[in-house]
Structures are given as structure tokens and as C-alpha cells.
Amino acid sequence: MKRIKWGRIVAILLAMALMLTACGPGKKEEVTKVRIGEVTRSIFYAPQYVAISKGFFKEQGLDVELTTTAGGDKTMTTLLSGGIDVALVGSETSIYVTQQGSGDPVINFMQLTQTDGTFLVSRKPVTGTFDWNTLKGTTFLGQRKGGMPQMAGEFTLKKHGINPQKDMNLIQNIDFANITSAFASGTGEYVQLFEPQATVIEKEGKGYVIASFGVESGKLPYTVFMSKKSFMDKNSGTVQKFANAVQKAQNWVQTASVDEITDAVITFFQDTDKEIIKNVVKRYKDQGSFATDGLIDEQEWNNLQDVMESAGELKQRADYKALVNNQYAEKAKQSVK
């Protein structure tokens, strides 16, 4: 009797254990680490920070490690050497790599911003409609030669009949990190600045935002997630998950309020006043700088090369199909809601 009784008890316990296993949490999904190198820390890249803070990368099973690799050259060097898996940088860098004859091309696969992110700041306020011709004969603090901000700046100036090298005193030898302080200390009458530096200068009463290079230069694949072709070939599933997370963030940013976006990104800018972040988010959102999806269309790609050509930085035009892969962005746009 005792043996039968204990046998029944063991059978019941085993059945309960199987039921608990079946009803309990499933096998933990494998997490993949992805190392991102961003060219700079900027509110301009708000959708990227939203994807991190709202857990969209995590939902895709990705553990993102974000590093600020200051400057396009350093970011690309870090990508090519294997220090990061994905770079967030201007599309022009992938063209430069191709021009140098790389055997492992860098492929643009997910667009984040679709306009230039800089603004024209004047030392003195402008009354009435701004006339670009007033820049002639002045000292202008530009961005680094060969970088997308400088090329978009020069493209805009030429569009308005200004030859940057002949019609003004163009200064390009100041490090990116020191341009704002150089202008604040009295160098130049005009300066080309990213946010939040432009708004900070305004708040301090040391300058005035009078025009947007983003609006003037038109849509471009300005800042794009890219990776080496070899990485993408070996990690196609990871790249798709990455694109899905970015698309979800882009969808969210399009419908979210300025206050909601500010709250989502503020932890990435702890040394920046909340009101300044709100002002910058609003400025970029209003002018359509945040891409609504990751697709890099051929017209934007050609516009980018027109800007590079105008600046004398393009040896020959790069093949759109060779350096752009939209399959991940297309699938993300169709499947992510």
C-alpha cells in the first residue's frame, strides 16, 4: 500500500512540474550586442536616443553599446578597424572610403536625418528679411573642410550667388569643438553652428539664428546608419532587427509631442538645460530634419553628390546601388507599426 501511495505522489509531483514548466516563462531569447559609434552627441539624432530609452532595441533582442567617436574621420576609422559594428555618420564618408579603393565597402542601410542640421548665426540681430548678400566681405566661421556641414554650407552660399573662397573671409581651421567658443569670444561676424550651440549662443545674447542651412540645401541622406558589407553579410538578421528598432523610434518621434521627445532624450544631455533641448527638438521637428523612415532614395543620394561636387570633394560620382541597401529599411517600414 505504501509503495502504491508513494508512487502516486511522485507521479502527481512530476505532472505538476511539467505543467509549471509548460506554463512558465519560455526560454530566454538570445541577446545580441551591437556597438554603435556616433559621429557626435547631438539632439539632431533624437530618434536614435528614443530607440534606446524607450527600449525599442531591447525589444528586438539587441544590447546596444553607444560610443561617441568624435568626427567623421575617426568614426570611419573605428568602423573599418572593427572597433564598432555600426556607424552613425554622414553618407559622404562611405563615398570617401570607396574613392580610396576599399575592398570591403561601407553600406548605407538606415537613414536617420534627412536635412543638414546647421544654422546661420549672426553676431547682430537682423531686422526684416535676411539678405544673403550681406555676408559678402565678412568673416565667416565655417565647419571642417570636406565634412557634410561645410559642404552644405558652401552649397547654400553658392546658391545665393556667394563664392565662399572669394567673397568672404572663410575660416575653416578651428576644431569643431571650439567653433562656438571662438565665435563667442569675438571671432567672425557669422558662424555656421549645430544645435544646441546655436540656441545657447542666442540664450546668452551673443548671436542670433537667422537662417537654416537644412532648409536651404534641401533633403539629403545626411546622417545614416552604415556598416561594412562583410558585417552585414554575416549578420543580416541583426541588421534587420536594428532597422526595426530605428523605424519604431522614427514612427514614435513623428507622432510624439516636443515635450515627450524631450523627456525621452534628456538623459543623454544631462548638462543641457531642458528648455534648450525643447527648443532644439522643436526646431528640428518643424523643419523636417528627422527622417520618417530609413529609406535612402536615389534623388536624395544624387543631391548629396551635387553638394559634394560643388565643394570639389567628389572625384567621381558613386553608384547608388553599390553603396545603398534599402532592403532592411523597406522591410522595417512595412512590418513595424
Q: In CATH, what number is assigned to the domain containing residue 184? A: 3.40.190.10
Residue 147's pLDDT is what? 80
Residue 21's pLDDT is what? 45
**7 domain-assigned:** no
Does residue 85 sit in the same domain as residue 231? yes
Residue 176's pLDDT is what? 80
Name the domain boundary from 217, 239, 259: 217
**17 domain-assigned:** no
Phi, psi (5° rounding) for residue 275? -65, -35
Does residue 123 sit in the same domain as residue 246? no
**26 domain-assigned:** no
Does residue 279 sit in the same domain as residue 203? no
Residue 69's pLDDT is what? 92
The structure's pTM equals 0.86
**DSSP state letter for 84:** -
**1 domain-assigned:** no
Name the domain boundary from 156, 188, 217: 217
The β-bridge partners of 50 are none
Does residue 206 sit in the same domain as residue 247? no
Question: Block means of pLDDT (10 residues each) for the chain, length 337 residues?
Answer: 49 48 54 96 96 98 95 92 96 91 92 95 92 96 85 92 95 88 95 93 94 92 96 98 98 98 97 95 96 95 92 90 97 95
Name the domain boundary from 182, 198, 217: 217
From residue 222, give the alpha-carbon distance in Å to each of 148, 246, 329.
8, 16, 16
Does residue 128 sit in the same domain as residue 260? no
Name which of 227, 285, 273, 207 is nearest 87 in CA terms. Answer: 227
**15 domain-assigned:** no
Does residue 101 sit in the same domain as residue 161? no
Residue 29's pLDDT is what? 65
Residue 177's pLDDT is what? 80
Does residue 141 sit in the same domain as residue 234? no
Does residue 224 sit in the same domain as residue 111? yes
**174 domain-assigned:** yes
Boundaries of domain holding 195: 118-217
**DSSP state letter for 31:** P
Environment class of residue 241 by beta-carbon count within 10 Å: exposed (0-12), middle (13-18) or buried (19+)?
Answer: buried
Residue 334's pLDDT is what? 96
Does residue 230 sit in the same domain as residue 163? no
Phi, psi (5° rounding) for residue 124? -115, 150
Residue 241's pLDDT is what? 98
Does residue 196 sit in the same domain as residue 266? no
**166 domain-assigned:** yes
Does residue 46 sit in the same domain as residue 109? yes
**287 domain-assigned:** yes
C-alpha cell at 181: 567658443
How many Å from the N-terminal Cα to the C-terminal Cα in the chain?
62
Does residue 326 sit in the same domain as residue 231? yes
Total domains present in the chain: 2
